[in-house]
Amino acid sequence: MNENILANLKSFDEQLQEKTSELLSRIFNAQAQVEAGESAKVDFAKVQSEIGSSAIRVDIPIEETSYVITYLASADLLPELKEYLEKSGEDAPSVPDSMQLILDIAEQITLVKNEIVKSLLEKEISFGNPVIQLWNGESEPGIENGVASYFRVALNDKAFTVIRLLPEDMANQLFKQVVRDEEKVVVQQKSMEELYADDDHNGKTLPLTELYDLELEVTAELGSVNLTLKEILELGTGSIVELGKYAGDPVDLYINNKKFAEGEVVVVEQSYAVRITHLISAKERMASIA
Q: Please, which residues have CB within 8 angstroms of residue 255's CB and are 6 or more apart in sequence?
A: 216, 217, 218, 219, 288, 289
pLDDT, position 15: 85
How does pLDDT run across 179-231, given as a tens digit for each residue? 444 444 444 444 444 544 444 555 555 555 666 677 778 888 888 888 888 88
How does pLDDT run across 162-175, given as a tens digit for each residue? 999 988 888 887 76
Q: Is CATH 2.40.30.60 correct for 215-288?
A: no
How does pLDDT run across 2-58, given as a tens digit for each residue? 777 777 788 888 888 988 999 899 888 888 999 999 888 899 889 999 998 889 999
Enclosing H/E stretch for 71: strand 68-74
How does pLDDT run across 53-106, given as a tens digit for each residue? 889 999 999 888 888 999 999 999 999 999 888 886 556 667 888 888 898 898
Q: Is CATH 3.40.1410.10 correct for 3-176?
A: no
Domain boundaries, the chain: 3-176, 215-288
Higher pLDDT, 116 or 153: 153
pLDDT, position 222: 82
Is the pLDDT at 130 greater than 80? The verdict is yes
C-alpha dihedral sign at 102, 108, 112, 117? positive
The Cα 137–Cα 115 span in angstroms is 31
Taking alpha carbons only, the member of 126, 73, 125 closest to residue 102 is 73
